[in-house]
Every structure is written in structure tokens, then in C-alpha cells.
């Protein structure tokens, strides 16, 4: 579950690359809620990076509420963090039911797609307007 590889020669700071990779692992469910992340030393030695870089990445994830640092025992993925894959799985029956009903109205695939796009863009406009007023 250690991120596979970081690229020092890209301009992106290594700690950000590590944050992104860990987030990705959590989203795809490779790292799950409650899992313990490798110790700073272990992660630094595996990835061949400065331990302070690992500390910084862990602190970032903590600030975002993704992990919790438990003193004396390690860094854990918060229980409240639900993997995106899990959310997608929950969304499947909802969308299936909706599409079934739309098809029963005799709408074809293209029309359903257009309706979905239309609805999303209306929401986007409304959201932007609220943001501007705020």
C-alpha cells in the first residue's frame, strides 16, 4: 500500500506527489478507513525521500481530515473517510432505477444523456450564481 513511485525531476514538490498518491489510494479503496499508514521512517526509506517530506504529507492529510495522528501509535485513515469507489457503488442502484423509469417513458440513450447533461449544467449555473452573490 506504499505509493509506488515519486518523480523528483518533475516540478511538483515530492510531499504533494505523496499526498496525491495517498489520496488516490484511499479513493480507489487500496487503503481503507481505519488502516494504519506506514511509519515515517518506513515510508521515507521505501520511497527514498527525506522523512520531513513524509511528515509534511501526513500533516497535510491530517489538516484535510483524511487521517488522524495518534501519538505513540501512528497515522490512521479516519473512519469517516469513505472511499470514492464505495460511493460510486452506492450510486449504482439509484442511477439504475432512474434510467429504467426514463426508458419506460420511451426516451432513448442520447436523450437520457442530454437530460443528464442539461440538469448538471443548470445546477452548475445556479451554484455559480449563489457563489457570486455570497
Partner 1 sequence: MPELVLSRSSPAEPVVAVGHLSRTFRGQKALDDVSFTVERGTVFGLVGENGAGKSTLIKHVLGLWRAESGTVRVFGLDPVAEPAAVLGRIGYLSEQPDLPGWMRVDELLGYTQAFYPNWDSQHAEWLREQFALDPTARIKTLSRGQRAKLGLIAAEAHRPDLLLLDEPSSGLDPVVRRDILEAIIRTVTDAGRTVIFSSHLLDEIERVSDHLGMLHRGRLRLCAPLDEVKARHRRIVLHFELPQPNPPTVPGAIRVSGAERVWTVICEASRLDRAAIARNFGARITDESPASLDEVFIAHTGVACEALPDHPIAI
Tell me which residues touch partner 1 (CB under 8 A).
4-6, 8-15, 39-41, 44-45, 47-52, 55, 58, 69-75
Q: CB-wise, 50 or 85, nearer to partner 1? A: 50
Closest contact distance (angstroms) between CB of 131 and partner 1 is 23
78 with 68: CB under 8 angstroms? yes
CA distance 40 to 57: 10
3-state secondary structure 82-123: CCHHHHHHHHHHHHHHHHHHHHHCCCCHHHHHHHHHHHHHHH
CB of 62 to partner 1, least distance (A): 10
Q: How far is the CB of 53 from partner 1 (least distance, A)?
A: 9
Q: Nearer to partner 1 by C-beta: 50 or 121?
A: 50
Judged by beta carbon, residue 54 or residue 83, the one nearer partner 1 is 54
43 vs 83 by CB, closer to partner 1:
43
- Burial bucket for residue 122 (CB in 10 Å: 0-12, 13-18, 19+): exposed
Amino acid at each position: 500500500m506504499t505509493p509506488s513511485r515519486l518523480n523528483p525531476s518533475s516540478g511538483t514538490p515530492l510531499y504533494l506527489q505523496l499526498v496525491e498518491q495517498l489520496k488516490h489510494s484511499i479513493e480507489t479503496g487500496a487503503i481503507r478507513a481505519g488502516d494504519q499508514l506506514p511509519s515515517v521512517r518506513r515510508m521515507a526509506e521505501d520511497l527514498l525521500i527525506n522523512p520531513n517530506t513524509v511528515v509534511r504529507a501526513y500533516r497535510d492529510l491530517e489538516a484535510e481530515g483524511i487521517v488522524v495522528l495518534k501519538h505513540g501509535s501512528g497515522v490512521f485513515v479516519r473512519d469517516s473517510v469513505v472511499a470514492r469507489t464505495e460511493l460510486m457503488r452506492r450510486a449504482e442502484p439509484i442511477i439504475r432505477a432512474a434510467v429504467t423509469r426514463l426508458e419506460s417513458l420511451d426516451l432513448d440513450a442520447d436523450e437520457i444523456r442530454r437530460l443528464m447533461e442539461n440538469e448538471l449544467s443548470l445546477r452548475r449555473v445556479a451554484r455559480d450564481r449563489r457563489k457570486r452573490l455570497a
